[in-house]
Amino acid sequence: MATEPLPLQKNAATAAEDVVPVAVSKDEGHPLVRFDKVVKRYGDHTVLDELDFTVERGEHVTLIGPSGSGKTTILRLLMTLERVSDGVIWINGEPLTHIRGQDGSLKPASEKHLRAARRKIGMVFQQFNLFPNMKVLQNITEAPVNVLGMDRDKAEARARELLELVGLSGKVDAHPSQLSGGQQQRVAIARALAMEPEILLLDEVTSALDPELVAGVLELLSDIARNTDITMLCVTHEMNFARDVSEKVLMFDAGRVVESGSPEKIFTDPSHERTREFLNAVL
Amino acid sequence: MTKDFDWGAVGDAFPLLLDGFWTTLLATVFGTLVAAVLGLAIAVAGRAPSRLVTVPVKAVMEFIRSTPLIVQLVGAAALFTSVEPLTVGIVVLGVHYATYTSEVYRAGIDAVPKGQWEACRALSLTPRRTWQAVILPQAVRNVVPALGNYAISMFKETPFLAVITVHEMVFQARDYGTKHFVYTEVFTLAGLIFLVASYPTSLLMRKLEKRLGH
Ligand SMILES: Nc1ncnc2c1ncn2[C@@H]1O[C@H](COP(=O)(O)OP(=O)(O)OP(=O)(O)O)[C@@H](O)[C@H]1O
Ligand SMILES: [Mg+2]
């Protein structure tokens, strides 16, 4: 299963031409994601404090750090589920959180801008969040049909391919409630992939799973990482997964990047005491 | 007691009451429809991002809830003299009950987990699609039993329509009773008809609740 080429990218190119009218600019001069002095506050509590970091196109980045350090917040800001309190998030050189005015100044983005901007970004949640009122197939086709305007037959064919990819061909007509947690999460992954995201956000996607189901989902994600050019940001406590999948690990604490580097470097020879403490605690 | 009970009057009044009963049923069915649709609209409007929408909606709801149904009926009938009383009655009943059903919908909508909204956003679904395909189907499921109970209680309040000269069942009973001086008989009969109609409906509702897994 691991070596099979994924049907994903092959179709991604054609589908992008057919369906998404806005050409995706492949501007190599910019990092794909750039946090620029991003601040996030909840009331008086500053969760992210002038956070700066970048993610390059095609990179697979793992975010680690103690509970409450702001990892989820980072992904939620990127998914535009939350708004920044200050600073700007850039995607491919374009502001995600803001609109560029005629004079070049940045204004907070409207809902409409956000809806368009977030199309390139997909997210898989810890709790799956499948739509329980829809069968598996419709969970996957809903957005391609209604957001991308994809032809229903084509969307269904794609959905079936994706279900095969995640190992659930037999569950096309099942309801989410009839699936195990691991299967639900696979459907959620297929659903996110169906939108052909450039960036996939994964927030502790195996934490809600029974231990025996974790490995399968992680293997699937490794496959996706290897066989597609989707940029991935993962929050995980599975250090092996981080090592397998990502080229870069970002260690967060108190809303700032403590250090970043290859998994090898961070896990075996961290530069910071804080990282060492954290890794000792989780490993 | 049996000696005084005028069975003849019962037989005599029955067709009249039955006739009134259809009007009662009509008012209930359409009143419930209005309440179901309008209540939903109010609940969704209550979630609008703009206070320009939410504040007036709340004010009107407060007004309707804090005045008695009968006052609303008489007031509406006086305002809309050219409209057929039954229509006025249906609309007033529907609007009155919509202020309650909207609360039921609101609770149903609130019961949809936050993760569902977030999944919709993550997939870039439009607000319309979010409501239509994801939120409402889940919310309405929670709401159906409560709507049924409001329908039954509306059914029992239809006699108020007599005040604005709608010829529903109780209007007919009183009319017949006044003419023939047999109040006990016709009102007993009217009560029985209510019972016969609403008891099975309640049972049906309970079954439905069970089937929906409440
Ligand atoms: N909606 C919210 N309102 C108030 N505070 C919040 C909210 N969401 C998150 N926070 C706070 O922000 C901080 C960072 O939360 P976040 O969920 O990003 O941490 P995390 O690194 O993902 O932690 P964990 O590893 O436990 O998931 C925490 O202190 C949390 O209490
Ligand atoms: Mg978290």
> Residue A78: its chain B contacts at CB < 8 A?
none
Q: How many CB atoms lie within 10 A of CB A37?
A: 13
| Ordered alpha helix ranges (H), B46-84 | 51-65, 69-79
Longest dimension (CA), chain B: 76
Coil vs helix vs strand at A146: helix
Residues lining ligand 1, CB < 6 A? A 42, 45, 47, 65, 67-73
Predicted confidence at residue A27, as pLDDT, reads 52
Enumerate domains of chain A plus CATH numbers: 8-24+55-83+116-282 (3.40.50.300)
Q: How far apart are CA A71 and CA A82, in angstroms?
A: 13
* Six-digit token string for B49: 């991002």
Q: Count CB pairs under 8 A between chains A and B.
A: 60
pTM score, two decimals? 0.83
Answer for the pair A85, A91: CB distance below 8 angstroms, yes or no. no
CB contact under 8 A, A195 and B123: yes
Ligand 1 atom closest to A71 (CA) = 21
Using DSSP bridges, classify how beta strands A199-203 and A121-124 pair: parallel, antiparallel or unpaired: parallel
Angle between helices B7-45 and B169-180 (to 10 degrees): 150
pLDDT in tens, B141-191: 878 888 888 998 898 888 888 888 888 888 888 888 888 888 888 888 888
Q: Which of B116, B117, B121, B124 to mutate to test the interface with A (most CBs of A within 10 A)?
A: B124
Q: How far apart are CA A126 and CA A185, in angstroms?
A: 8
Q: Which residues pair with A41 in a beta bridge?
A: A46
Predicted confidence at residue B1, as pLDDT, reads 46
Predicted confidence at residue A26, as pLDDT, reads 52
Enumerate domains of chain B plus CATH numbers: 7-211 (1.10.3720.10)
Answer for the pair B67, B76: CB distance below 8 angstroms, yes or no. no
Can you tell me the mean pLDDT for B127-147?
90
Matching residue, tokens 């829809």: A134
- Local structure of residue A25 (DSSP, 8 states): P
- Chain A contact for B210 (CB, 8 A cutoff): no
The protein residue with its alpha carbon nearest to ligand 1, atom 26, reads A67
Rounded to a whole number of angstroms, the distance from the CA of A277 to the nearest CA of chain B is: 33
- Chain A contact for B125 (CB, 8 A cutoff): yes
The protein residue with its alpha carbon nearest to ligand 1, atom 28, reads A68
Predicted confidence at residue A6, as pLDDT, reads 53
Out of A116, A122, A132, whose CB is closest to B138? A132
By C-alpha distance, which of A223, A168, A216 is closest to A191? A168
How remote is the CA of residue A70 from the centroid of ligand 1, in Å? Answer: 6
Predicted confidence at residue B82, as pLDDT, reads 92
pLDDT averaged over consecutive 10-residue blocks of chain A (283 residues)? Answer: 47 41 56 95 93 94 93 96 94 90 86 88 96 96 96 96 93 95 94 96 92 89 92 91 90 91 92 92 81
Q: How far apart are CA A139 and CA A166, in angstroms?
A: 14
The protein residue with its alpha carbon nearest to ligand 1, atom 8, reads A73
Q: How far apart are CA A73 and CA A70, in angstroms?
A: 5
Using DSSP bridges, classify how beta strands A60-64 and A248-253 pair: parallel, antiparallel or unpaired: parallel
Out of A81, A132, A192, whose CB is closest to B121? A81
